[in-house]
Structure 1
């Protein structure tokens, strides 16, 4: 009878948990790519989810820079002990947080949840000195600044686009922007997969290295091909199921979305996510698209944005990193006793 070592069993559990997180991430963040196009009826829900699923898959297989950042910039996986339990605690924390916020229909950040979970679990296991502060701060800066940039870009793009079509008939522009939304939603789906799925690739690679299953003479992190493919498929499958509670929030509760504003928001967020992906920095697709919608809404009519709901979302953004960090540290303490 085949006998597996405890480390192999924990690694298998970590991979299952990581791919589950990726699936939930796709399920949770489907709204980022398709909410505005569904809200304006540019796409039917079924068609929008199909497009998002396929392009999430393609995007996830295109880059690895963000995966390497997640795998090596928060902490050095080559130097950590008990790394498998650290990753297991981080993933448990992130998944629990994703499910809680999904249940209440709040578009919180899967990225913040995962990064907060990794940092909290590392601190719980080895103390604050084990955190690579320079790398961690660069990641947090990207998470903070990307939605601010998205708000500004959304504000500017809707102004420019509105000026370009100011003298065109309203119904004609509506029809045209519904068609353009197919392209902008597609780009956004691709960029979402290119950034978000890499985070799971990075965390699995982190587990493989810290658990002693991967080595590197140069200290460079390489993402195994099976990790890339499995993470991409898990993300695409999760996207195919959709997160309808959050789609409802993103698609209409923040502001009333028209085709021109939906296109502008999608274009803004896809552009920002793509730029940060090329810089090998993780961002929250939820934060970026929500901020783009807020920027577009604020440029048209300040009162058109439901700032009360926006404030509620902002509070969730602020508390996600510390909440998941504390939860992950607690999970590590429990797992370390029993595993």
Structure 2
């Protein structure tokens, strides 16, 4: 195994842990005000589905690997390494500044920028399509939540809301495993050189993701369930159902989208439906601003690093 592959495998493991920190806590945070699903139960469910669903479908992982740029070309492993480094760096800096963002947006930007900088064949049409779906997902989640919370409040008792919580959590987790989670598998695909979903690697991804989730749950819980909206149990359940529906629809199309963005959209939609005063617009604005920065910054960083590394390699070879 080449040094490039070893380095990328190590980064792929780190990427899976960071995905758990960034995404896993958000998946559990919306239901924290309902005791129906304990954190341990939720994390175990997440790990099992993240490991199992790619065995059935991994179309979103293939989109990351084949539709944005041709990472199977010579230098593809190096370009992927640069993309992961760029995305992790951008997410780390924004998170340190109190601006949580989407790791999915970061890796899409990093892959596109690194591909261009390394001279790989990048598909502008596919990149534009992925961005269009990514932009639509939080709006779709918000719209579904805006309708759904009215129905839940009018027809659901407190006991029934707990059952809806289980349904929403399972739908949301299933959608995440079929969509957003597959960015982790995509990095291993390039690092190791497989195109399917070997059980050993889906399990490895899921376990590392679970470790990150356990670490990141408290912070994600504060951000989503407290900062964006004055949240009540119905808001969290509505956001789960709405985000799960939007992200699953994108998974059917093979388009990667951010679950955290869809959840945030669902919370805002539920809050607006009961009066915009429930939404903390300043906090929501900070998060949206971080999203808007993430993709172009990670793309530019990936492009610049790819040019730098390629130039350095050319000088050494000459």
Same fold (TM over 0.5): yes
1:302 maps to 2:280: no
Q: 1:242 to 1:150 in 2, by over 3 A?
A: same
Q: Tell me the residue number matched to 1:187.
A: 171
1:137 maps to 2:137: no
Q: Tell me the residue number matched to 1:234.
A: 208
Conserved? CA contact 2:178–2:251, under 8 Å: yes
Q: Tell me the residue number matched to 2:83.
A: 90
Q: 1:242 to 1:46 in 2, by over 3 A?
A: farther
Q: 1:328 to 1:39 in 2, by over 3 A?
A: farther
Q: Select the residue among 135, 141, 145 that pairs with 1:154.
A: 145
Paired with 2:38 and 2:189, the residues of 1 have a C-alpha distance of 37
Conserved? CA contact 2:71–2:80, under 8 Å: no
Quote the offset at 1:233 in angstroms. 3.2
Q: Select the residue among 203, 208, 231 that pairs with 2:187.
A: 203
Paired with 2:230 and 2:162, the residues of 1 have a C-alpha distance of 15
Conserved? CA contact 1:298–1:304, under 8 Å: yes
CA RMSD of aligned residues (A): 2.3
Quote the offset at 1:11 in angstroms. 0.6
Secondary structure of 1:18 counterpart = helix
1:21 maps to 2:9: no
Quote the offset at 1:105 in angstroms. 4.4
Paired with 2:268 and 2:277, the residues of 1 have a C-alpha distance of 11
Secondary structure of 2:273 counterpart = helix
Paired with 2:295 and 2:238, the residues of 1 have a C-alpha distance of 29
Q: 1:75 to 1:207 in 2, by over 3 A?
A: farther
Range 81-90 or range 194-203, more displaced = 194-203
Q: Tell me the residue number matched to 1:125.
A: 118
Paired with 1:230 and 1:224, the residues of 2 have a C-alpha distance of 10
5+ residue gaps, structure 2, are none
Conserved? CA contact 1:117–1:324, under 8 Å: yes
> How many residues end up aligned between the 2 structures?
313
Q: Tell me the residue number matched to 1:178.
A: 162
5+ residue gaps, structure 1, are 166-172, 215-220
Paired with 1:242 and 1:185, the residues of 2 have a C-alpha distance of 18
Quote the offset at 1:125 in angstroms. 1.4
Conserved? CA contact 2:68–2:127, under 8 Å: yes
Q: Tell me the residue number matched to 1:170.
A: none
Q: Trace 1:190-339 onto structure 2 (pairs within 5 A).
A: 190-207=174-191, 222-224=196-198, 226-336=200-310, 337=312
Quote the offset at 1:225 in angstroms. 5.0
Q: Scaled by the length of structure 1, what TM-score is found?
A: 0.84
Paired with 1:115 and 1:246, the residues of 2 have a C-alpha distance of 22
Q: Which string of whole-angstrom CA distances, capped at 9 and with x for unpartnered residues, describes residues 289-314 of structure 1?
A: 10011000000111110011111111
1:67 maps to 2:41: no
Paired with 2:246 and 2:225, the residues of 1 have a C-alpha distance of 20
